[in-house]
Amino acid sequence: MLAWDQKVTMPEGGHPARADQLATLSKVVHERFVDEELGRLLERLRPLEESLDYDSDDGSLIRVTRRDWEKQRRVPTELRVELTRAAALGNQVWIEARATNDFAKFLPALQRNLELKRQYVDCFEWEDSPYTPLLDDFEPHMLTSEVAEVFGTIRPVLAELVQQAPRVDAEFFEQSFEAEKQEEFCKRVLDTLGLEKGSYRLDPTVHPFCTSFSNRDVRMTTRYNETGIDALWSTMHEAGHGHYAHGIADSLQRTPLATSPSLGLNESQSRTWENLVGRSRPFWLHWYERLQDTFPAQLGDVDLETFLAAVNRAEPGLIRVEADETTYSLHIILRFELEQRLVEGSLDPKDLPEAWSAGMADLLGVEVPDDTHGVLQDIHWSQGGIGYFPTYALGNVISLQIWASVREALPDLDAQMEAGELGELAAWLRDNLYSLGRKFTPKETIERITRSPTIDPQPYLAYLREKLAALPAGA
């Protein structure tokens, strides 16, 4: 709650005190959680765990809590405190550095976060890379080499698709779209996505995010830009995260199970609602006239086919959160590669802007004009979120695996979306995915829904090939 307030409503002057408050709480929580008494209690519960069905709430609670306890007790409390403090202080430094295009201002905070993360890595043993303990915080049980294998499969295909994709005219998005009307339309769409009224709120912030305090208190944020309507897809993206939190079973609340199994799975749902729903023809057959009515000067003369081509185009750009479906994962692959080099020590943090620009030129063929539109664009490193980025692209891949099961279960889904009815989709995902919370590992959860225990990039790549092939040549 303190972290949400820090990013949404807190005055700028409150950051130093807020960092201390968060550090104090992290110390109290960490000390209590890693206490030897909890270990003794978990050991006493081992016979019960072995007698319970693997799918039971209680068995899952004991199993998952034991893994958390065994991992966290390796981390000294003072290190946990400093990680939290540095993340809170770094957030404000990043905001100021981004606004003034001043990487040098941000560099000390980045170096501090990286130094602490290396100390954190030293608390663990790893199989393939020092990056793996950081990845495990967000994608449990997954190795760096497994991520590299998935990315190695999709990288050349995405690069080829981007190169071959037809250029699409989307200049109408370069106009000014009033922020008040953007907010009105976003909230109008949000009300139809199957979230229970009174269980969520939407607020503006510098970098969109979603957090939750329970399944009935979901906090989503978005960002209204001066041009375009990216705020709509940002809102639908965060609504996907919100759906996951909202759908977790009541029986799991206030336990370590009351979250998603991994950020990759969580991200699969933000991408589902943002892209598989929010960029689809059936969705816009319902909503486009309503959008035109909201912005008649900007979109009144733009027909549906032109609009759909624009929102589904593949066009390299500078900003990850504004990237299209095809180029998005290339942004993530760059960050994954840079993070590994930072952790391993083969890249000095002061050289990060240069490495970033070189990577953007190589992967996306774009020139980075300044650090605000380059290395300073994302919030994650300011908060010590190293290991987080790969989950975004993994989420893209997983979303299409789950979507195939959704399509099989809801054969008339297109007709429902065309009618503006998304409740059945939300209910199916809640009952089959969200309600499980963190009872099972990411691979176990994926297998329960898709009948495949592996992350398979092929449905994702086939989806993008089909989407780009449908774009009009020279649109």
Catalytic residues: 238
- What residue type is assigned to position 27 of the chain? K
Reduced to 3 states, what is the DSSP secondary structure of residue 204? Answer: strand
Among left, alpha and beta (phi > 0; psi -120 to 50; other), residue 205 is beta
User: How far is C-alpha 245 from the chain's CA centre?
Assistant: 13
In DSSP notation, 205-226 reads -SS--EEEEETTEEEEEE---S
Sheet of strand 210-214: strand arrangement: 200-204, 217-222, 210-214
DSSP state of 317: -
- Decide: 34 and 73 in contact? Cβ < 8 Å: yes
Helix (H) or strand (E) run with residue 382 in it:
none
User: Among all chains, which residue has been given the structure tokens 């409150």?
Assistant: 14
DSSP state of 379: S
Determine phi and psi for 45, rounding to 5 degrees.
-85, -5
**Cα 245 from Cα 217, distance rounded (Å):** 9
- Decide: 224 and 182 in contact? Cβ < 8 Å: yes
- Helix-helix angle 144-164:352-364, to 10 degrees: 50
User: Among all chains, which residue has been given the structure tokens 């990411």?
Assistant: 442
**Cα 301 from Cα 307, distance rounded (Å):** 10
Q: β-strands 217-222, 210-214: how paired?
A: antiparallel
- Decide: 199 and 217 in contact? Cβ < 8 Å: yes
**Cα 371 from Cα 376, distance rounded (Å):** 5
Burial of 132 (0-12, 13-18, 19+ CB in 10 A): buried
**Cα 450 from Cα 466, distance rounded (Å):** 21
